[in-house]
Structure 1
């Protein structure tokens, strides 16, 4: 239903054991895009954190979510308390997929990251795999139950696995993860805009970010 472009997947080839995937979040396509883009060795047991108040509120959605995305519920209410379930999964070697914004973006922009994933990485001594997603908002915006027609382009970029430095605080590590994902997102957005301009005949020189995207693409090649 969509045309997927994957970048830098080889950066995660050396990851073994438990890890946490951290990505920006703007669409219900995000989890399947990540699961489909990752090497099968890493995605096989990847468990996705899903909002309990939406994905686990009725029996049929709960069953489908757990079946297809190996998902577990996360309480997003203001008075929620951790029951240690995520830590137990990590101790058993189960990798996690976390969207630290807490909810889907309405317009594709990235909201400030909550520090839960960074804290888990530090506590468990495991790496974070940063991923940037571009185009999912347009492909399946909020309010739709299915992607828009025409196989829209979506972009998945892998970042180099990150580990907290010795003595690094949770807030510092969280800021570093967010900075990396924002940077990758901006690069992929420029590439997506350049590709769209090429299809529609727009002059990229009229758009500075599009010209930068071409330079990034040539450097990557």
Structure 2
């Protein structure tokens, strides 16, 4: 019942609000359609548009149960924020300091078969430029042995930068570029895997930037 309610609410929110305020282009690597089980989706982060963009851009069998890791100290401090993020984004709290009662929740969700959306930069960019990725998402995927699906969001910062509460007028263009899934190699450690994940997101960003400049 809760899944049905979430899907109905997401449809209303994405189609009724997000899709009417921006012009979205989805670019999906065919290999991403081969991800049938649990995975970790990672993306650059510069706007409150990012989570809905990812959820409406990745293949359906990933997005239908995709849970979004959100900052516990921002989205879980008031009941209305908590209710909204849980209902729309299937959100779960992440302590940005890596402490508290929620520690280990991400691994439990993955082990239970729930795909996760994580923003490895840790916070929204103030300038739109990508910050170095923290190693957490790579460590998590490595520990549970699931693939990572890289996503580059292009134009989200320009459409709705940090500090604003609504997208800019004129339905600004945004590109959601979904790449081929990545898996850890043999004895590869989390730091090396994280470097490859970040490089994949940056490469997707560079390869698709022209789509909002043409």
Q: TM-score range by the shorter chain?
A: 0.7 to 0.9
Of 159, 167, 177, which aligns to 2:197? 177
2 CA distance for matches of 1:8 and 1:41? 14
1:80 aligns with 2:99: yes
Deviations 1:70-98, CA, capped at 9 Å, x for gaps = 00011113x62562111110111000000
| C-alpha contact (below 8 Å) 1:11/1:158 kept by paired residues | no
Query: Given the two structures, how large is their TM-score scaled by the length of structure 1?
Result: 0.84
1:45 aligns with 2:68: no
1:165 aligns with 2:189: no
| C-alpha contact (below 8 Å) 1:9/1:38 kept by paired residues | no
Of 136, 141, 159, which aligns to 1:116? 136
Query: Given the two structures, how large is their TM-score scaled by the length of structure 2?
Result: 0.87
1:188 aligns with 2:208: yes
Q: Which runs of 5+ in 1 are unaligned?
A: 196-221
Which residue is 1:145 aligned to?
165
Any runs of at least 4 consecutive aligned residues in structure 1 with deviations exceeding 6 A, and if so which? none
Question: Structure 2 matches for 1:32-71, cutoff 5 A?
Answer: 32-71=52-91
SS at match of 1:66: helix
Deviation at 1:102, TM superposition (A): 0.1
SS at match of 1:123: helix
| C-alpha contact (below 8 Å) 2:57/2:178 kept by paired residues | no
Question: Judging changes above 3 Å, is the alpha-carbon distance between structure 1 residues 9 and 160 closer, same or farther for their aligned structure 2 residues?
Answer: closer
1 CA distance for matches of 2:78 and 2:191? 35
Deviations 1:181-212, CA, capped at 9 Å, x for gaps = 1111112223322x1xxxxxxxxxxxxxxxxx
Give the CA RMSD over aligned residues. 1.2
2 CA distance for matches of 1:2 and 1:9? 22
Q: Which runs of 5+ in 2 are unaligned?
A: 1-20
Which residue is 1:102 aligned to?
122
Which residue is 1:207 aligned to?
none
Question: Who wins on radius of gyration, i.e. which is larger?
Answer: 1
